[in-house]
């Protein structure tokens, strides 16, 4: 029975495998291919899911910012994410799933986590929860911590992709480490061309700032990063929520709370009432000499959605700096001011 048709069958299978693998590898490496931005139709989402299962990286839209996704259970894929972003290995990644059940074997969800999931998922909330033994999630993804950050994004393309990938997906924002997060597919291509297999284009991100990160791995819930879900909304549901301070002794609670981050090339000056010589003015509310306006009507949701793309548009060599008008520190303003302070921080 050996030989005969079986040899041919095996040969055929090996060849199919080889060709598939080669085309995947080619898609992963060829700069012309990897520059391609693909509209997120069903076939493209299926292709992206296959890339993720094969260990390749794919950029995809979420409601907050674009993510750079790879299989969270595959050490090599996770290592490739850190390499593509130039991200320090001590800064852990958020693990994404299509629903809360997808995290059942990865983390331990207590009653607080369940209530938050019920209220805010899918949505711009990330929960840091105790890692389960044998979670399957790469230790590299969580930077060796005994917690894992998990999130269910509220974007139809992200949810379809996560469903089709049939694995948890580690995804930081799809930008080189320290730079401005991407809110369009074009932003992703500008920063990461040649470093990923595919960019799924799902249009501009609705929220525009990253998810809120809340730490539930200890007794008092702690806000690690303000974001799309407001502190007020968290407190309304949980009662007491502490706020982590990046400069507190013992180092930042969230390893990602680096002072300089989200930085354009130009220096950024905050609380500006007008532009000085050579500066661009990024306004909030009515202003006579605004170069761009985050929100003429002082709408914080509109300002958050505009923030990163406007910083990018003003980051041009014909200006010497970017001056930003004051923004109130409540609601989404907390997240906006957090990003602006990091954009304005001394560069390391």
List residues near Mg ion by CB under 5 A. Answer: 173
Query: Closest approach of Cβ 121 to ligand TXA, in Å?
Result: 12
| Binding-residue pattern over the window 173 to 192 for ligand TXA, x denoting contact by CB under 6 A | x-------------------
User: Which of 127, 149, 263, 323 contacts ligand TXA by CB under 6 A?
Assistant: 149
Site string for ligand TXA, 239-278 (x = CB under 6 A): ---------------xxx----------------------
In whole angstroms, what is the distance from residue 172 CA to residue 85 CA? 9
Interacting residues with ligand TXA between 14 and 53 (CB under 6 A):
none
- SS3 assignment, position 286: coil
Q: 112 to each of 128, 163, 193, 218, how far by Cα in Å?
A: 12, 25, 40, 11
**Strands 279-283, 212-215: parallel, antiparallel or unpaired by DSSP?**
unpaired
Q: Is 148 in the site for ligand TXA (CB under 6 A)?
A: yes
Return the closest-CA partner of residue 137 out of 149, 126, 127, 125. 149
Distances (CA, A) of 308 to 36, 66, 102, 263, 343: 22, 12, 31, 10, 10
Please enumerate in sequence order all residues whose Cβ is within 8 A of that of 299, keeping only pairs 6 or more positions apart, or say none. none
Q: Which ranges constitute the DSSP H helices of the chain? A: 5-29, 31-34, 42-53, 75-85, 111-120, 156-165, 185-192, 231-238, 300-314, 333-344
- Pick between residue 92 and residue 321 the one whose CB is nearest to Mg ion: 92
Q: Using CB under 6 A, which of 67, 122, 221, 321 touches ligand TXA?
A: 67
Nearer to ligand TXA, 61 or 333 (CB): 61
Least distance from ligand TXA to the Cβ atom of residue 158, Å: 8
The reply to whether 225 sits near ligand TXA by the rule CB under 6 A is: yes
93 near ligand TXA, rule: CB under 6 A = yes
Binders of ligand TXA among 202-221, rule CB under 6 A?
Answer: 210-211, 213
Residues binding ligand TXA: number (CB under 6 A): 29
* Residue 222 binding target from Mg ion, ligand TXA, none, CB below 5 to 8 Å by type: none
Stretch that binds ligand TXA, among 32-40, 41-49, 107-115, 149-157 (CB under 6 A): 149-157
Cβ contacts of residue 148 below 8 Å, gap of 6+?
Answer: 92, 95, 106, 107, 128, 129, 131, 135, 137, 141, 142
User: Residue 45 or 280: which CB sits closer to ligand TXA?
Assistant: 45
Minimum Å gap between C-beta 207 and ligand TXA is 8
Q: Is residue 122 reached through a cis peptide bond, with omega within 30 degrees of 0 on the bond before it?
A: yes
**Letter string b/e over residues 96-134, b meaning 16 or more CB atoms within 10 A of that residue's CB:** bbbebebbeebbbbeebbeebbeebbbbbbbbbbbbbee
Residue whose entry in the numeric block shows the structure tokens 């674009």? 66
Nearest approach in angstroms of CB 214 to ligand TXA is 10
307 binds ligand TXA (CB under 6 A): no
DSSP annotation of 103: G
Q: How far is the CB of 152 from ligand TXA (least distance, A)?
A: 10
The residue ranges that bind ligand TXA (CB under 6 A) are 62, 64-65, 67, 91-94, 124, 126, 128, 142, 145, 147-149, 151, 153, 171-173, 210-211, 213, 224-225, 254-256
């Amino acid at each position: 029975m050996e030989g005969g048709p079986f040899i041919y069958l095996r040969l055929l299978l090996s060849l199919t495998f080889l060709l598939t693998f080669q085309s995947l590898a080619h898609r992963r490496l060829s700069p012309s291919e990897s520059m391609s931005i693909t509209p997120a139709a069903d076939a493209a989402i299926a292709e992206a899911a296959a890339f993720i299962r094969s260990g390749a990286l794919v950029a995809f839209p979420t409601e907050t910012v674009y993510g750079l996704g790879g299989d969270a259970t595959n050490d090599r894929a996770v290592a490739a994410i850190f390499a593509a972003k130039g991200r320090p290995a001590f800064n852990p990644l958020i693990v994404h799933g299509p629903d809360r059940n997808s995290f059942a074997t990865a983390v331990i969800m207590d009653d607080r986590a369940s209530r938050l999931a019920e209220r805010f998922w899918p949505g711009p909330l990330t929960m840091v929860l105790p890692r389960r033994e044998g979670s399957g999630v790469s230790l590299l993804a969580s930077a060796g911590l005994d917690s894992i950050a998990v999130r269910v994004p509220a974007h139809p393309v992200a949810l379809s992709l996560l469903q089709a990938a049939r694995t948890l997906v580690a995804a930081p924002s799809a930008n080189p480490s320290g730079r401005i997060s991407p809110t369009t597919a074009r932003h992703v291509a500008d920063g990461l061309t040649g470093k990923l297999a595919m960019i799924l284009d799902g249009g501009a991100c609705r929220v525009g700032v990253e998810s809120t990160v809340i730490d539930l791995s200890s007794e008092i819930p702690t806000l690690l990063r303000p974001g799309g879900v407001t502190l007020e909304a968290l407190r309304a549901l949980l009662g007491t929520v502490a706020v982590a301070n990046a400069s507190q002794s013992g180092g930042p609670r969230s390893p990602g709370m680096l002072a300089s981050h989200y930085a354009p090339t130009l220096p950024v000056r905050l609380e500006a009432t007008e532009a000085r010589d050579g500066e661009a003015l990024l306004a909030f509310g009515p202003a006579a000499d605004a170069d761009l306006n985050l929100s003429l009507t002082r709408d914080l949701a509109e300002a958050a959605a505009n923030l990163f793309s406007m910083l990018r548009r003003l980051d041009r060599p014909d200006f010497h700096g970017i001056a930003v008008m004051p923004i109130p520190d409540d609601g989404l303003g907390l997240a906006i001011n957090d990003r602006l302070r990091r954009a304005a921080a001394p560069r390391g």
